[in-house]
Structure 1
Amino acid sequence: MTLSASPTAADRTTVVIYSGGMDSYTVLHRALREGLDVHALSFDYGQRHARELEVAARVCRELNVPHQVVDIRAIHGLIDNSALTDASRALPEGDYGEDNLTATVVPNRNMILLALAIAKAVNIGAGRVDYGAHGGDHVLYPDCRPEFVEAMNTVAGIANFEAVEIHAPYLRASKAQILADGLAMGLDFADTWTCYRGEALACGRCGSCRERLAAFAANGAVDPLGYCQRPAGES
């Protein structure tokens, strides 16, 4: 009889790229429910506001999850050709689509963040990096496609002497399916921020808000966040 190897410390430890949004919030809790030793990693890359980072910090404090916010604002001039990093550009409103997606693409963002998260994983002896790429983003953001994740997984396996797995559990799931998983776990999505604007209330008009509200509607649930304007038909 062959005995299976006992899990190593690396097997039990993961670095979760945690923005404070819905997807990464669900990924974080999913990793915790696996019984993993979770280290949350957030990034300040000069985005338009810090609401998500504030939410992420509060959630990690409440969960007693180690949380590091990495200041990479020095690269802002390399990635400022986006409405999410250039406050002088108008934020597109309406549903996500190819006609307005270009304005919200941050150049090479996920490759940059994954590279830093892999370094963190190697540094602390973690065997995995989790991030929240999902199926609904494939047409919008090239660095959320399965081909990208598969290629990064290959690189993460050979870039260091210690291989790291890139784990994207919702890679082929929709936003509504991610939300359904989170609701089944009993998660409170008031502890997330999605809106592209960092105001007191979510705007309800940007593509990110509209996609979020559509996910709640698809699940027959009410979004607990406050909105200054919800699309017609949203309660």
Structure 2
Amino acid sequence: MKNRVIFVGVGGATCSGKTTLAKHLRNLLPGSVILHQDDFAPPQELIPLHPEYKVQDWDSAEGAIDWPRMIKTLKEVKETGVIPPEHYSHDHLNEQRDVPIERKVSERWKETFSRITKEREEKGERLIWVVVDGFLLYWHPEVVEQLDARIFLRVPHDVLKQRRLERHGYHTAEGSLWRDPPHYWEQIVWPAYVAAHGGMLEGGDVEHGGPNGAVPGLILIDGQEMGLAETVEKVCARLAEKATEDQ
């Protein structure tokens, strides 16, 4: 039996709903696991200071992620189908908000992917699903290259800002709680998001621009226009197509 690892990328701004979607996909895809990009942040003491505002900058792409470690892990998982034993996730420390979808939707897709799994096994192929979620998922070309499906959730600025303000903070790998300093959203979070994503959208317009081809096969979902169940439907339909493609 040949292993076939399928990386499902779920990207989007902070508070865009990507982790919620990722967890629904984990529930629907047989035996799947999630890799959270947040778990590849450098140690807290190595997070750089913003050159102008002199506070730690957890959001600018260059310093927010340990890119060599993330790329190495993705390549290892793609080759072995197993998350390295030394990899640790602190996602469980953060707020977990349950956003359910209709049971008939989830049951139908569970049955669909179970059937596809059996069909692929009959062809000698074992499917291994790995959902990768992250707020900088499409910035580094070597990360993009590893992803087999590329989903991007877009939510308007004002909605993102309100959701971020309502959060109590973010737990770091060391277990401490990071709280945004005053004006952190407008000074650092939003400018970093625009800088990291403008290059993949038409006209650099992160609010309204369509995919410009810089991230091949990007599935852009406007989160305020499409409900969660509809989003799950669209994404799962694409994943079913991907899974049934002969290699």
TM band (smaller chain): 0.3 to 0.5
Q: What TM-score comes out, normalization by structure 2 length?
A: 0.33
| Structure with the higher fraction of residues in strand conformation | 2
Q: What TM-score comes out, normalization by structure 1 length?
A: 0.34
